[in-house]
Structure 1
């Protein structure tokens, strides 16, 4: 690992090195970099450290160098030593859209300091770094022209540049770092048409995020019995199930960018859906997954067969060259050779690498779809309640509360509402999405707290998550003794459990769970203060990592209505901040039906 650079080893001259992971120029080399930048009329930039090659005692060693990070455009007006001049020249060539020959000539004359950034223990070659620099500048220009409602962090802007600069690859960032928003920005900078293939449980979330970040980008759903592909450009959303059944129709169209979200769905090369994905043609094919390899290297081969056909050769040859030597003999040579092949086509940033750019607490609303069973139960519950009538006064409040409770349970899982012991998967979009998210978090060696207000729902979650993760998942609830609660907290803090499910009320006080990098609110508590109090079990003194708070919301349901009211602080705010049954009971039947009816694209 790089060691901090001793102050005495600083070269004493302002240097500029392009750092692709930051999408920025790192300025370093003198004691007071901000003063040196001000003297050149430049902003001071962001404080940070970079892994660079530096000269210490006449040796070139990997070192953590204190630096200031500036947008690459700053090179246009900067002056300084040879490394600074090199990047000023590079920016000018990019601005003038110079050809490859001009950049090749510049690469041959670039001083080592200009490309001293490290990839592992190796210095990135000047041509490769110049290529990334051009990509970043071109993407920054395209993003400025696109109609987007988002401010990207530097690593995200670099991710967009990476996506737009290749024929295919795997975006494998940690959960919570914004893979979806990077893909949306890439869509907005290209003409389309684009295709997103994702689990059914994620279709609603994609629709919501596209409307939020790229409101002018046309979005079309390709699902349901009367589905048809649109003639106009934009983004088409479909599921892996539809891809499997409609392969011919989807493969007949040439897409600009196709994204396979939660690409572990295509990790089995023998599965029909993986073969269907391989038939889809596009200028750029991107797989998005935080876990490109979970169990076997065959999974990586299957995903890259879709995104980068031919890169790893045929399956039998791949197993002979890589899978068998690495998995059975632990061959370091084969592993290094595979890394060399795959690295240019796989972009992965971890939370630890970009922590300095992340706020202490990030909030993400995850829109979940409803299944056919949930749709039927939800509509039956609403219809039966309105057919029976609500009465007035205390009776009305009681019946409204009963209906709201029933609808929330249906959103959680039909098994919670019906009390059955049938299969769990495929019946609740929220349940399936939570399992997918938590499996990815555990695979990333991160930790998560999952809050639910229902004891029965917690039991269903731990039963299924134990099967998914292959290990018991504990449930902290009010029925446990104080000693048992304390033991579960200690075990979680010692990393004995990747996931801990908690009752929202039982977890409201007296717990310190700072090991968690994620909090998942499975079902919505109408008073946000209660949710915040639960979140603060993880986000408190002693928490040194960025925390991502995921709130699961079933699209088109009472959960979605209340979430939108809360976000926009518009009418019916009492439903959020006060007693929901009382506030809802004061509405007329027509107003109440508008709030509770199942709407949206379901």
Structure 2
């Protein structure tokens, strides 16, 4: 009843407040304010329990907060009486109205981020929000989390790195991020007043890429060998990370793009003198090569020495190996893997360059494993086949250097040989190859998979990004690949560095089929009509079982009909090519010079051997079955033998035959790069005479067509590494039809 009276009195007062109406003494103590008051929210923070919110009303200069349920309201609810003062009030709506009616509420630590981002915004709109100093310092950071990768390079060639995150100017350890995520928190409380919003997608992506990197875990973070720097750089890019690089690592990156090999690089005085004593004259480009190999070793990197055949890859690699042993004082063994035909050559060169070192050819049925237990370092020399057979044992040995001679022997990544060699354990890896790409860019991938696993990505990715584009003629892909491998591949051509090397003159001589050859050739082609028809219809034709045997027989007929018929008598007078080769040999010997003849048919070598015996020419023969090759090579190089009959696959690499200055290719190999390599057994450092290369080709036959078709496929390796290389010898439909086309 009293509150109703006060309400009526209040209304009467507002109507007549400007009129002179007599008041009682009591009425004069009543104050009625015209400005409404907003509710007040007092917000405090305790870092153990969380946020406490207390709501209510209070007048200006009044300290006590009156909760909503304690208010004395007029009947219309528009005014409240606080003491003798009537004040119009504002009433909030929605969720904050409930908070006002409750009078107080507590929000736990895990609720604080959402309270500040959502509830506090609404409170500030409809309340006088009063935050204590501690509560006012709270910040909820929702900016994106950015991974930061800090990289250092130690003197031993390791890349040590750790990962943390930043948001605004704050640094957040990775372990705290992962712990909060594992607890399924949406926010990470960094300290008593700071919460960071987690971005689970970004965190998951970073962790996924980190697992794929396969880095070693250390007490301070992670570790990779310096040779995998590209994988680390790619990882940082993929996660959108920031880099913090040490001075040593930055210098390392600078050298990758700007390292200059020194052509005046000096060895120790003792080593320089020893090499001179053993007949080594180190050329400027070879000094630069040794310097580059030293740079690789000092930075724990691996590479391909891809100099032209004959420029001294063996010598450069062995000098670098000796420098490594002298500098590191390491006691681990080293392993050199080479074709069987050059094992003795490697042993000879090691003895010349090291003089004092222990060498063991690990090959043959009597090979001993006991020597590997020696406490003194050995240089072991073995073959690719031996490694594949003994891989379970060899894979347990921590080698110092692992050197591959003729490294393209691991160009197929799926072979047992390649997989075995890639599983060997070595501190330093070096590949030697005058032709690092023979047929297709993926061969280069396999080589780098041995040297620096992951540097060229996964095989399928490499084929998609590089090989398919390069084979389609996209020079940009070749250039991009070239830039990626540039720091780890050193390639010098003879014409650029060996200015004193005598010229090489290529002579192509054309001959015709004899009547016997023409009949055999035509009959064989007639028998292939069904094969040609299948190809024309687009039917599947197996290259290995259907095409290659036919092409081989056609080539044999071009060399000599006896290779096809088996009738070896008479030899002369049945093939113009064969007769011209014999005439050329006669001419060369009459001039007091020496000659080597390459063929990939053993039968052709046997026919030539018969004539050499008839003419009483001193000769040597090397094919896949030959033992004691080095003694035969020495016999030829000292002039005792005037003619060398060589299988192109057995003797086309890894040997020096500079006593000759004539090379005859009796038949065309599928890949001219193999022919070039064979030719360079003669045209190499140490050769003093002009070298003549003789090709004998048969008019109107597949030899002419193969020569033309292979010319079209040149250029793949030139685009990538500047080396001469050829395309795949699996012909297209149109090319097969051209090869099998009948004689005119």
**Do the structures match in fold with TM over 0.5?**
no
TM-score class, shorter: 0.3 to 0.5
Instruction: Normalising by structure 2, report the TM-score.
Output: 0.35
